[in-house]
Structure 1
Amino acid sequence: MSQPQAQQRYFWLPVPDESSAYGLVRHAFAGTRLDTGTADEAFRGNTFALANPSEMDWIHAKTCQDCNTLLKEMKGWPR
């Protein structure tokens, strides 16, 4: 019999990141957006400033593949 997966709350947010030509990358953060302050540590381990992104930021910011991979591993998904 398989064990149920533990629930992990997280949220995605476009944040300033020099690694992107657009200047923003969508990173995953633990908890909920309401629980955060002006900066937080993403799942990949870097700390980023948090702000309210525009709709265009959501559209143009690429998803951080490191955060995505870590979350998939936490859920037991293969790479």
Structure 2
Amino acid sequence: MANSRTWLRYFWRPVPDEASSYGLVRHAFFGIAADSGPSALSVCERTFALAKPSEFDWIHAPTCPECNETLKQTTSP
């Protein structure tokens, strides 16, 4: 899905994800955070509820490796 995008605006957000022992994972989402709704499709093509995370959540939630790799491939020359 990411390769079909002609624009590269995205934002990261810690969201509830059972894949993490912490309970949250930082996923990337296409678009602008201010324009997002209550849920969104992540770069790794999973739908998550978007809530305002705490500073603690930003620090402790690991980054989704799929989102990270997809964005690296998409933004590479």
TM surpasses 0.5? yes
Aligned to 2:36: 36
Aligned to 2:59: 59
* SS of aligned partner of 1:63: coil
Aligned to 1:73: 73
Match for 1:67: what amino acid? C
CA deviation string 1:4-57 (max 9, x = no partner): xx6510000000000000000000000111111100000000000000000000
* SS of aligned partner of 2:22: coil
Deviation at 1:76, TM superposition (A): 1.9
Aligned to 2:3: none
How many Å separate the matches in 2 of 1:56 and 1:26? Answer: 12
Match for 1:58: what amino acid? W
Structure 1: unaligned runs, 5 residues or longer:
1-5
Instruction: Give the alignment's TM-score, normalised by structure 1.
Output: 0.87
* SS of aligned partner of 1:22: coil
* Amino-acid identity (%): 56
Aligned to 2:12: 12
How many Å separate the matches in 2 of 1:37 and 1:75? Answer: 25
Q: How many residues of Structure 1 are paired with residues of Structure 2 in the alignment?
A: 72
Match for 1:28: what amino acid? A
Structure 2: unaligned runs, 5 residues or longer:
1-5
User: Which structure has more helix as a fraction of its residues?
Assistant: 2
CA RMSD of aligned residues (A): 1.2
